[in-house]
Amino acid sequence: MLSVDGKIEVRCSLEEAWALFCRFGDVAALIPTVEEVEVDGERVHARLSTKIGALPISSRVTLEVIERKQFECLRAEGFSYLGETIKEQLKKDVAGVAHDSVGRMHLHLDLRPSERAGHIHIIYNAEVEAKGRLKRIYQTILKTKVPGMMAEFAVNLRGALEREEVLPVAPAETATEPSEVVVAAAPGTASRPPASITVRPSLWARIVAWLHRVLAFARDAA
């Protein structure tokens, strides 16, 4: 299994972080290179832009929340449809890669108290399972692209949580927001519900994250 992980400290409460975790579509939109996140009933569908060699691609991914422990952790699983992307966008035959070749994705987010008052730790881990030639392609992407993407994701996550206003947590048994729980179907299974919305990555979160880095640099230089 291929993986990348990290840990960041954020100036917010466990409750504020959990409020964001309960809007998983918003969490996905903070991942760099996400072109759009479509929340469709209980499912989340996204497209990630990257490169294979010098060729830009946009690959379809889906995710499903499989575990939530309030104020503690969130785990999601899903699929990256890289075989489909290679066949349709690169339009070339790659030995050992079929149209239905997929990578199985795992995302784990943990919340932990920090020794610093008013701060928490967020520990993240992303993994991909694949076989054969597809595994070697994912290895290249993980080595060259993903570490930087996850570092930027951490900055975006911090920026989103350190804004002045954070939405409250909706009780799980009464929540009706479409993005609260996301479920992705395995390839070739359940069809999507008719109602859908599209959530694009938050420009505001990126601006706040940039300002946070500038202010942090100013404090260190003082």
Q: Enumerate domains of the chain plus CATH numbers.
A: 2-221 (3.30.530.20)
The per-residue pLDDT for 34 is 85
d(CA 27, CA 4) in angstroms, rounded, equals: 17
The per-residue pLDDT for 213 is 52
Task: Express each pLDDT in 8-60 by its tens digit.
Answer: 999 999 999 999 998 888 888 898 888 888 887 567 899 988 887 778 888 99
Q: What averages of pLDDT result for each successive group of 10 residues across the chain (222 residues)?
A: 86 94 88 83 81 84 92 94 90 85 93 95 92 86 77 89 55 36 37 39 49 49 50
Strand bridging mode 120-129 / 103-113: antiparallel
The per-residue pLDDT for 143 is 77
Which residues sit opposite 148 in a β-bridge? Answer: none
What is the rounded average pLDDT for all residues in the chain? 76
The per-residue pLDDT for 174 is 36
Cβ distance 40 to 201 under 8 Å?
A: no
Residue at 53: amino acid letter: G
Q: How big, in percent rounded to 5, are the helix, strand and coil portions of the chain?
A: 30, 35, 35
The per-residue pLDDT for 172 is 40
Ramachandran sector of residue 180 (left: φ over 0; alpha: ψ -120 to 50; beta: rest) = alpha
d(CA 24, CA 44) in angstroms, rounded, equals: 8
